[in-house]
């Protein structure tokens, strides 16, 4: 009845080292730790990630070799983020799409659509405190004021903020995961001024619907917003 393959899927995505690299890359690419900022100290970070310092250090070393981090010793040292999102070019997008399997891409887009729409709905159906409204408003204002170098990071922060405000860490994690899976593709999409203005209007609509407590409108707003990029990416599949 229930497809066993849905539940009897691999228990682990890889070894601890690989998963740690992925997670740190997630933190960097999503902008949880921005360029010039540093990761928490190794001992603290290892505890957060639930792994040993040895394994964490291997992962940090790999990211250092790959040019994402600059590690400095001594007091006030640490692992500083050097990564800055590459400027998009049309070739980069095509390459990014073909790097990912088309099946995986479709899977990720569907997943993202479902969880982000779901999060917006749930949030719209929730009674928000003044502080929560202020947080969301702030994220939107920051995004609207963003320069080209910051746009992706603040866009991600805005979207994840919606999920985090639902109060469900499971949901927030799912949205972060979904966003990471399409993150490289989003970074490869050239940002035209028209698109940014269009996106800004849609972001405004999302917040308005959430503040109005209208789950249907919130869902529609997020859906339309995501459908734009999804359609663009899907165009590369044919």
Partner DNA sequence: GTTAATTGGGCTAGTGTCAGACCATTGAGA
Partner DNA sequence: TCTCAATGGTCTGACACTAGCCCAATTAAC
Give residues in contact with DNA (CB under 7 A): 12, 15-17, 38-39, 41-43, 46, 50-55, 57, 60, 71-79
Give the span between the Cα atoms of 81 and 65, in whole angstroms.
13
67: its two tokens: 């040019």
**85 contacts a copy of itself (rule: CB under 8 A):** no
What contacts 111, CB < 8 A, 6 or more positions away? 178, 181
Give the span between the Cα atoms of 11 and 186, in whole angstroms.
29
Q: Shortest distance, CB of residue 139 to a copy of itself, whole angstroms?
A: 8
Helix (H, G, I), strand (E, B) or coil at 236: helix
Which one of DNA, a copy of itself, none interacts with residue 77, CB within 5 to 8 A by kind? DNA
| Distance in Å from the first CA to the final CA of the chain | 33
**178 contacts a copy of itself (rule: CB under 8 A):** yes
Contact string (CB under 8 A) for a copy of itself, positions 113-152, x = contact: xxxxxxx-xx--x-------------x--x----------
What contacts 55, CB < 8 A, 6 or more positions away? 16, 17, 20, 46
**Which residues bind to a copy of itself, rule: CB under 8 A?**
1-12, 16, 19-20, 23, 26-27, 30-34, 40, 45, 48-51, 106-108, 110-111, 113-119, 121-122, 125, 139, 142, 153-154, 156-157, 160, 164, 166-174, 176-178, 181, 215-216, 219-220, 223
């Amino acid at each position: 009845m229930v497809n066993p393959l849905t539940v009897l899927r691999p228990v682990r995505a890889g070894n601890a080292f690989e998963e740690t690299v992925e997670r740190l890359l997630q933190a960097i690419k999503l902008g949880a730790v921005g360029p010039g900022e540093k990761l928490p100290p190794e001992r603290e970070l290892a505890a957060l990630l639930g792994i040993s310092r040895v394994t964490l250090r291997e992962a940090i070393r790999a990211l250092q070799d790959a040019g994402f981090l600059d590690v400095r010793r001594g007091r006030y040292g640490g692992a500083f983020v050097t990564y800055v999102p590459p400027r998009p070019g049309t070739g980069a997008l095509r390459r990014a799409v073909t790097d990912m399997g088309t099946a995986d891409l479709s899977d990720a887009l569907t997943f993202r659509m479902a969880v982000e729409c779901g999060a917006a709905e749930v949030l719209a159906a929730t009674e928000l405190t003044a502080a929560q409204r202020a947080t969301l408003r702030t994220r939107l204002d920051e995004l609207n004021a963003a320069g080209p170098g910051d746009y992706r990071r603040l866009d991600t922060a805005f979207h994840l903020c919606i999920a985090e405000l639902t109060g469900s860490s499971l949901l927030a994690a799912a949205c972060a995961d979904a966003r990471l899976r399409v993150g490289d593709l989003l970074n490869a999409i050239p940002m035209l001024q028209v698109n940014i203005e269009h996106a800004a209007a849609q972001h405004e609509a999302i917040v308005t619907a959430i503040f109005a407590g209208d789950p249907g409108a919130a869902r529609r707003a997020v859906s339309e917003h995501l459908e734009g990029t999804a359609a663009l990416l899907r165009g590369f599949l044919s």
